C-alpha cells in the first residue's frame, strides 16, 4: 500500500504551461513513488485538462493531451477553476493552485482562492509587489481560512531568499539591511560592462548581446527601467513587520533609478531601442571610468534599509574587494542580509537567479513544504 493513499493525495491544479510551468510539471511527474501529489487540472491560455479524480499524465504526452483537449479556457477560467477546486477542500484534504503565469488577472484572484481554503504557490510577482490593499486582502484571507501562500520563486528563482528572511525573523534575529543584485539581466550586463580590469565593451553592445542570448526581455527597457528589482524589494520588505505598510503603491513606491535614457522612454520597438542606445554609450563610459578611478565597479542593486525605511533600486559603486565585484559571474544573483546576529559578516546567498529549471525548483520546494 502506498504511504499516501489516493484519497488523501494532495490535489494540485497548475495554471500556466510556459517555460517555468512546463518544467514544473516535468519535475512533478518525475517525483519518486509514492508521489504525494495528484494533478487535477492543467490550464494554458487556450485549453484546459481537468479531472477531480486525478489526471493520468505522462512526461512525454501531457502537452499533446492539453493541446488536443476539447475543453477551451474561458475568460472566467480562474473563478470557474476556484469553484471546482473548492469542492475538493475537506478536512484533511489539501488543495493547491500553482500559478506559473505572470498574469495580473490571476494574481487579483488570490484573496478569493485563499478564502476558499485553497493554498497558493507561485513565482508570479504581481500580487505581492502591487497595491498594498491587495496584499492586505491576501494576508487576511490566508489567516482566516488557514490556506497558505508560498512565493519563494518570486525573488531569486530557486535561491532560498524569502525562506531565509522568514527564518531570520521567526528565530528572533533583527534584520538591519538587505542589499543585493536581484536581477539576472542587470547582473550579466554590469558583470560584462564594469570589471576590476577597467575598460571593456560599450554599454549598448553588452545590452545587445544580452538580448541575443535571451537574458533580457524582448524590449530591454523592461529590464533597464529597474521595475523588476523594485518588485522584488517590495516583496521582501513586506515580510519585515516595520516595513509592511511602507509601500502603498507597491513597486511604484520604490525609489528607482531607471537606466533608460529619457530620449528613449517612448521607443516601442526593442530593435530600435538597442540601435539608438549607442547614442548614449559615452555617458555610460564616463560613469564606468569614474568608478574605476575610485577603485570601484558599477552594479545595479536593490537595498532595503530597515532603520531608515529607505527602499531603493539604483546603480551604485562597489570597491574592487567587495563581493559584488569579486564573486559575481554571468547572470548570478547575490543577496546580503545584514542582521544583529550576522553583524560583522553578513549572511550571503548567491547563485543562478533566473532560468526555467531553477525557478521551477523554487516552486517545487514550496510545494514540498505543504506535504
% pLDDT > 90, the chain: 84
Could you read off the pLDDT of 94-144 as tens digits, one per residue?
Answer: 999 999 999 999 999 999 999 999 999 999 999 999 999 999 999 999 999
Same domain, 120 and 138: yes
Digit-coded pLDDT (tens) for 19-47: 999 999 999 999 888 889 999 999 998 88
Is the pTM higher than 0.85? The answer reads yes
**Residue 59 annotated in active site:** no
Provide mean pLDDT across the span 254-265. 97
Please identify which of the residues 232, 286, 312, 369 carries the catalytic annotation: 232
In a shared domain, residues 51 and 69 = yes
Domain around 57: 10-157+358-369
Average pLDDT, the chain: 93
Residue 2 falls within a domain, yes or no? no
Judge whether 3 lies within some domain: no
* % residues pLDDT > 70 (the chain): 96
Q: What is the 3-state secondary structure (H, E, C) of the chain?
A: CCCCCCCCCEEEEEECCCHHHHHHHHHHHCCCCCCCEEEEEEECCCEEEECCCCCCCCCCCHHHHHHCCCCECCCCHHHHHHHHHHCCCECCECEEEEECCCCHHHHCCHHHHHHCCCEEECCCCHHHHCCHHHHHHHHHHHHHHCCCEECHHHCCCCCCCHHHHHHHHHCCCCEEEEEEECCHHHHHHHHHHCCCCCCCCCHHHHHHHHHHCCCCCCCCHHHHCCHHHHHHHHHHHCCCHHHCCCCCCHHHHCEECCCCCHHHCCCCCHHHHHHHHHHHHHHHHHHHHHHHHCCEEEEEEEEEECCCCEEEEEEEEEECCCHHHHCCCCCEEEEEEEECCCCCCCEEEEEECCCHHHHHHHHHHHHHCCC
Q: What is the pLDDT of residue 7?
A: 47
- Determine the pLDDT at residue 69: 83
pLDDT of residue 46: 86
pLDDT at 297 over 80: yes
Check which CATH number belongs to the domain holding 52 and give it. Answer: 3.40.50.720
- Residues 62, 50 share a domain: yes
Known binding residues for L-homoserine are 217
**For residue 229, what is the domain's CATH number?**
3.30.360.10
**Structural domain total, the chain:** 2
For residue 60, is pLDDT > 90? no
Residue 112 and residue 27 share a domain: yes
Q: How confident is the model at residue 238 (pLDDT cuts 50, 70, 90)?
A: very high
Give a yes or no: residue 125 inside a domain: yes
Residues 171 and 228 in one domain: yes
Q: Please check whether residues 214 and 331 belong to one and the same domain.
A: yes
Inside any domain, residue 89: yes
Domain shared by 234 and 317, yes or no: yes
Which residues define the annotated binding site?
16-21, 101, 125, 217
Residue 3: its pLDDT value, please? 37
Residues 363 and 349 in one domain: no
Binding-site residue numbers for NADPH are: 101, 125
Amino acid at each position: 500500500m502506498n504511504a499516501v493513499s489516493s484519497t488523501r493525495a494532495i490535489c494540485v491544479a497548475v495554471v500556466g504551461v510556459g517555460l517555468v510551468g512546463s518544467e514544473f510539471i516535468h519535475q512533478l511527474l518525475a517525483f519518486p513513488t509514492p508521489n504525494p501529489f495528484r494533478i487535477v487540472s492543467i490550464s494554458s491560455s487556450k485549453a484546459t485538462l481537468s479531472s477531480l479524480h486525478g489526471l493520468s499524465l505522462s512526461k512525454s504526452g501531457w502537452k499533446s493531451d492539453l493541446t488536443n483537449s476539447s475543453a477551451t479556457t474561458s475568460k472566467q477560467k480562474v473563478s470557474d477553476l476556484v469553484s471546482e477546486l473548492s469542492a475538493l477542500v475537506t478536512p484533511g484534504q489539501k488543495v493547491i493552485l500553482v500559478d506559473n503565469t505572470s498574469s495580473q488577472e490571476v494574481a487579483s484572484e488570490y484573496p478569493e482562492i485563499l478564502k476558499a481554503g485553497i493554498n497558493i504557490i507561485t513565482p508570479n510577482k504581481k500580487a505581492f509587489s502591487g497595491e498594498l490593499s491587495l496584499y492586505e486582502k491576501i494576508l487576511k484571507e490566508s489567516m482566516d481560512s488557514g490556506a497558505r501562500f508560498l512565493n519563494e520563486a518570486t525573488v531569486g528563482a530557486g535561491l532560498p531568499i524569502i525562506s531565509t528572511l522568514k527564518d531570520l525573523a521567526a528565530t528572533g534575529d533583527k534584520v538591519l539591511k538587505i542589499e543585493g543584485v536581484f536581477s539576472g539581466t542587470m547582473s550579466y550586463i554590469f558583470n560584462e560592462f564594469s570589471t576590476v580590469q577597467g575598460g571593456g565593451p560599450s554599454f549598448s553592445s553588452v545590452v545587445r548581446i544580452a538580448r541575443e542570448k535571451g537574458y533580457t526581455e524582448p524590449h530591454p527597457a523592461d529590464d533597464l527601467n529597474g521595475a523588476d528589482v523594485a518588485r522584488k524589494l517590495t516583496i521582501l520588505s513586506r515580510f519585515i513587520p516595520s516595513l509592511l505598510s511602507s509601500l502603498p503603491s507597491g513597486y511604484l513606491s520604490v525609489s528607482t533609478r531607471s537606466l533608460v535614457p529619457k530620449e528613449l522612454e517612448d521607443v516601442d520597438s526593442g530593435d530600435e531601442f538597442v540601435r539608438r542606445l549607442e547614442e548614449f554609450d559615452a555617458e555610460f563610459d564616463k560613469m564606468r571610468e569614474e568608478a574605476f578611478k575610485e577603485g570601484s565597479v558599477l552594479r545595479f542593486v536593490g537595498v532595503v534599509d530597515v532603520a531608515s525605511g529607505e527602499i531603493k533600486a539604483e546603480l551604485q559603486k562597489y570597491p574592487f574587494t567587495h563581493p559584488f565585484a569579486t564573486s559575481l559571474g554571468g547572470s548570478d544573483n547575490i543577496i546580503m542580509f545584514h542582521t544583529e546576529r550576522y553583524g560583522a559578516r553578513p549572511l550571503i546567498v548567491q547563485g543562478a537567479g533566473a532560468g526555467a529549471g531553477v525557478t521551477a525548483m523554487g516552486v517545487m520546494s514550496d510545494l514540498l513544504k505543504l506535504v
